[in-house]
Amino acid sequence: MSKDEPSQPTASAATDRTPRYSPAEIEPRWQALWDAQADLYAAEPPTSGKQKYYVLEMLPYPSGQLHMGHVRNYAIGDALARHMWMRGYNVLHPMGWDAFGLPAENAALKNNTPPRNWTLANIAAMRGQMKRLGLSYDWQREVATCVPDYYRWNQWFFLKMYQRGLAYRKNSKVNWCPQCATVLANEQVVNGCCWRHEETIVEQRELEQWFFRITQYADELLRDLDKLDGWPEKVRTMQRNWIGRSEGATVDFSVIPKDEDRRGPRYAPVQLNLTETMLQPTPDREKITVFTTRIDTIYGATSLLLAPEHPLVAQFSADSPELQKKIRELLEEQKTAKEKGDLAALAKEGVATGRFAIHPFTQEAVPIWVANYVLMDYGTGAVMSVPAHDERDFEFAKKFGLELKIVVLPRHANEGENGNAEPLLPYTHQDSLLINSGEFTGLGCQEAQQKMAAFAQQHGFGKPSTTYRLKDWGVSRQRYWGTPIPMIHCDKDGLVPVPEDQLPVLLPDSIAITQEGGSPLSRVPEFAQVACPKCGGMARRETDTMDTFVDSSWYFYRYADPKNSRAPFDADTVAYWFPIDQYIGGVEHAILHLIYSRFWTKMMRDLGLVKNDEPVEHLFTQGMVVKNGAKMSKSKGNVVSPDDMIAQYGADATRMYALFAAPPDRDLDWQEDGVAGISRFLSRVYRFAAQAMPRVIAGRSLSLPSSLNPLERQLMRKLHQTLRRLTQEFDGRWHFNTCIAAIMELVNDLTADEKAIASGAVEDSVLYAIARNLVLMLQAFAPYLSAELWQQMGEDAQLLRAPWPAYDEALAAEHVLEVPVQINGKLRAVVTVPAGSDGEVLRATADQDPKIQAALAGKEIVKVVLLPGKLVNFVVR
RNA sequence: GCCCGGAUGGCGAAAUUGGCAGACGCAGCGGACUUAAAAUCCGCAGACCUUAACCGGUCGUGGGGGUUCAAGUCCCCCUCCGGGCACCA
């Protein structure tokens, strides 16, 4: 790193007359003072009667090191918290640690340290970094998810959910990361690879797993997105896609038993002589249920397609090794494509089973195929193929020469009245009319969908149905460093929940972390062997631990009442603080963390614990911090360490740069020269303040003069314009970069007139007003320097709770305006008029301008656009 | 393929309601201070044309079209970059 960087005060600086800005001296001094005041940033109790404001930044994983993304995240939250304090709110601004999880075990393997020690040491280190940054957290509310005081409530919630059937166990195919040697949730699989190991392909394994029934809330999670108008539309859309609700219908097709099979030409549907009994699906007749969103196209269904894993496939292929082989190939193709994440690119393949099913609307026989593009884990694992009206089916049918039946026509088919004009296939639009569809012919698609689903329901072979992409939340992890699932397996009594009064189920401390697969806890007999709470007999403890997303789904409730030993939190206290007014974090949590948190809140509401339907009122997703256009990463070697920045330029400059370099919602390119620039700015502020300080102090006890001289007026105007800018930005779009630029402009104005100010051209009282407000504005961005100057000014009230000054619109207003004068929309002159001048004055002033007179000479004025205070535009010929 | 962002000087950006494009900062250049350098302070600074210089002019917000007295901003089409989703039936 740069050893001989500027801005560190040197010994020679001491000889200068004006003191130098030295964050290395100021910041630790204030840090020590703040640290000694435990309740400096403490929220007041709900009884304070004040309006509450809950500002929250996403809790970090205690990796041991803050990165710049954290610094940015916390600088945003801290600026907001400090501002809201000054606005008089009762602010809750807590911080904690997402302290369970795999890295602790990996570190244990590598360094031979217990995960607990490693984690706690990391927390201590990062807490120190946060304190050095001067962040205004209420540390008395600090929560670490790995302590029994916290995770016991995970277990408590688990039991409540188990009682209500929201936590259940099922045998399921799971995503298995061979690197992690554990199960991943669907959400943790990215392009077929582990979200932590981007190179590691996730395998499918069959395991008994615990699940949370989040799908029970799928509809509400979707519906309530509409209420979250304080959330970015982008996040809401991502969640909508993730939930993936589709409305449609299920339809049952009866499989024609092998012995009744009467084939027509191989791929053409054949009209069968069907008896009444054959039409009715009966228990002894196999059914294939398909899910479709386009039941209106069902008359165009010319085959059924099964997923390779569909249960009936094995039966259909039982006596044909050749068929079995082909189906295995299809399955293999699908699996590989899935693992690679490019399912969409997979070439369509399939094979006819040789069996047929009865189309419930036409009573025709349709062939049953197995296709590699039909997925077992969506819908019913079987689809009806409508080649004329579905892209994929069209491609498939073309490839295998399957029949194609047009049953939907564009509403305005160009030629031929009775629908002779053939649409371009596949025709998938829904603003269309049905043909060749029996009694439904002539209906519009939408109407047909209703009627045909109802028809299917009346006749007992189908019903309207809704399917979701969202799956239940698999929470089992075969890892050590997590919340033990509080269940016991007894040979006699089956699954037995750990009685509530025996919580927490403590994670054993002494455990050898090895690379062996399977759950580490199962190798700790003291833990795994337990008496059955029901029969007292020998039983086995559940050795899976919970996904860490459980921890982060409700931690923000615990902040409201962090020491409660009788309940996860007090309901009334939570009712006061919730919902969170502002949540700030990276967009990478738009789906996982935020959808689980929403689910958890709804679940707790149904348990009667909270009253709010949603945890977060306003969500803000900040942009990434990049360096040279690339995401910071060790492999790219472009990581900038916050510690280095603080050592080099101070915490104030570091965090202020993080807010200055770009608006918070955009990506930010970290440029160290920029931090140096902020540091220079802070030096200028400090130097100006030091020079002005005696007069600022003198001005404290004086009242403002009844009339201001021109310089005073000019400076006060700038001050109030700056106050206005900050007030509006904090209320609205949070473009702190322009706030800081505005403060810089104010300071530039002050230093430009420094000599005049020093020689008394500005009254002490005015100077005091400006200096005081400057410090108030700076506080949200540079708390250390602000505290220092505040103290030097002799203020004894607490800076954090000093009231935010209301800007004075009259003082902020310019009394002389510069108005552009255009000719045919091109700038030709700028004229100066008194504020409030009407159009006539403006016109007259413009007419008198020599440049304008010259430009207008000999031209015919067609029109004059006169906007008082804004613009003159002569339209000429 | 679908959805959502974004594109403005050498660089990060600003322009909040359609009204002076480039505030503020970085880097750069010139000057002051200094024996010198650093630091600091003052000044210049979109591109091009014209001029000895001033003055002046033209172009300019990814590209093309449109609306308007007036477009970075509104409308239509396109390109590129980033992110999300993706045989979801």
Residue A276: pLDDT over 60: no
DSSP A484: B
Helix (H, G, I), strand (E, B) or coil at A617: strand
Q: How many CB atoms lie within 10 A of CB A794?
A: 11
Q: Band the pLDDT of A412: cuts 50, 70, 90.
A: low
Nearest nucleotide to A377, CA against C1' atoms = B88
User: What homologous superfamily is domain A25-151+550-649 in, according to CATH?
Assistant: HUPs (3.40.50.620)
CA A733 → C1' B16, Å?
9
Report the mean per-residue pLDDT for chain A.
Answer: 88
Report the distance separating Cα A65 and Cα A641, nearest Å.
Answer: 8
Answer for the pair A389, A407: CB distance below 8 angstroms, yes or no: yes
Could you tell me which CATH class the domain A670-812 is placed in? mainly alpha
| Helix (H), strand (E) at residue A464 | strand A462-467
| Helix (H), strand (E) at residue A378 | none
Residue A726: strand pairing partners: none
Residue A321: pLDDT over 60: yes
pLDDT digits (tens, 9 = 90+) for A438-479: 999 999 898 999 999 999 999 999 999 999 989 899 899 888
ipTM: 0.94
DSSP-assigned letters across all residues of A170-236: EEEEEEEETTTTEEE-GGGEETTEESS-TTPBPEEEEEEEEEE-GGGGHHHHHHGGGG-TTS-HHHH
**Percentage of chain A lying above the pLDDT 70 cut:** 92
Nearest nucleotide to A382, CA against C1' atoms = B89
Q: Band the pLDDT of A265: cuts 50, 70, 90.
A: very low
Nearest nucleotide to A245, CA against C1' atoms = B88
Helix (H, G, I), strand (E, B) or coil at A161: helix
CA A722 → C1' B18, Å?
25
Report the distance separating Cα A247 and Cα A225, nearest Å.
Answer: 18
Nearest nucleotide to A675, CA against C1' atoms = B26
| Helix (H), strand (E) at residue A263 | none
Report the distance separating Cα A443 and Cα A408, nearest Å.
Answer: 10
Report the distance separating Cα A140 and Cα A96, nearest Å.
Answer: 10
pLDDT digits (tens, 9 = 90+) for A786-835: 999 999 999 988 899 999 999 999 999 888 888 888 888 888 888 888 88
Please give the protein residue whose CA is closest to the C1' of the nucleotide B68.
Answer: A825
Please give the protein residue whose CA is closest to the C1' of the nucleotide B4.
Answer: A234
Nearest nucleotide to A232, CA against C1' atoms = B4
Q: Band the pLDDT of A675: cuts 50, 70, 90.
A: very high
CA A59 → C1' B8, Å?
36
Q: How many CB atoms lie within 10 A of CB A525?
A: 7
Q: Say which range, A296-300, A377-381, A857-861, has the weakest mean pLDDT.
A: A857-861
Helix (H, G, I), strand (E, B) or coil at A255: strand
Report the distance separating Cα A407 and Cα A389, nearest Å.
Answer: 8
**Percentage of chain A lying above the pLDDT 90 cut:** 59
* Residue among A547, A620, A611 nearest A590 (CA): A620
CA A4 → C1' B37, Å?
14
Residue A1: pLDDT over 70: no
User: Which nucleotides in chain B have some atom under 7 angstroms from a protein Cβ?
Assistant: 3-5, 11-16, 19-21, 23-27, 38-43, 56-58, 69-71, 83-89
Structure tokens at A32: 């020590």
Domain residue ranges in chain A: 25-151+550-649, 152-213+472-549, 246-467, 670-812, 816-876
CA A133 → C1' B37, Å?
34
Answer for the pair A557, A497: CB distance below 8 angstroms, yes or no: no
Please give the protein residue whose CA is closest to the C1' of the nucleotide B81.
Answer: A629
Nearest nucleotide to A240, CA against C1' atoms = B85
* Residue among A729, A757, A763 nearest A743 (CA): A729
pLDDT digits (tens, 9 = 90+) for A859-876: 888 888 888 888 889 888
Report the distance separating Cα A273 and Cα A364, nearest Å.
Answer: 9
pLDDT digits (tens, 9 = 90+) for A748-780: 999 988 888 888 889 999 999 999 999 999 999
CA A841 → C1' B49, Å?
37
Report the distance separating Cα A824 and Cα A458, nearest Å.
Answer: 72
Which residues 6+ apart lie within 8 Å of A316 measured at CB? A323, A353, A354, A355, A368
Residue A283: pLDDT over 60: no
Which residues 6+ apart lie within 8 Å of A110 measured at CB? none
CA A235 → C1' B4, Å?
9
Nearest nucleotide to A669, CA against C1' atoms = B12
Determine the CATH number of domain A816-876: 3.10.20.590
Instruction: Establish whether the linkage from the previous residue to A579 is cis, with ω within 30° of 0.
Output: yes
DSSP-assigned letters across all residues of A807-873: P-HHHHS-SEEEEEEEETTEEEEEEEEETT--HHHHHHHHHH-HHHHHHHTT--EEEEEEETTTEEE
Judge if A25-151+550-649 and A246-467 fold alike in CATH terms.
no
pLDDT digits (tens, 9 = 90+) for A691-724: 899 999 999 989 888 888 988 999 999 999 999 9
Could you tell me which CATH class the domain A246-467 is placed in? alpha beta
CA A402 → C1' B19, Å?
64
> Which phi and psi (to 5°) does residue A832 adopt?
-110, 125
Burial A149-181 (b: 16+ CB within 10 A, else e): ebbbbbbbbbbbbbeeebbebeebebbbbeebb
DSSP A624: P
Residue A282: pLDDT over 70: no
Nearest nucleotide to A657, CA against C1' atoms = B25
Answer for the pair A477, A521: CB distance below 8 angstroms, yes or no: no
CA A660 → C1' B77, Å?
37
* 3 state SS for A401-446: CCCCCCCEEECCCCCCCCCCCCCCCCCCCCCEEECCCHHHCCCEHH
Burial A384-416 (b: 16+ CB within 10 A, else e): bbbbbbbebbbebbeebebbbbbbbbbeebeee
Report the distance separating Cα A746 and Cα A537, nearest Å.
Answer: 77
Let me know if A456 is exposed, middle or buried by CB neighbors in 10 A (0-12, 13-18, 19+): buried
Answer for the pair A626, A670: CB distance below 8 angstroms, yes or no: yes
Report the distance separating Cα A475 and Cα A506, nearest Å.
Answer: 18
CA A817 → C1' B68, Å?
26
Check residue A5 and give its pLDDT. Answer: 34
Check residue A689 and give its pLDDT. Answer: 93
Please give the protein residue whose CA is closest to the C1' of the nucleotide B23.
Answer: A741
Check residue A602 and give its pLDDT. Answer: 96
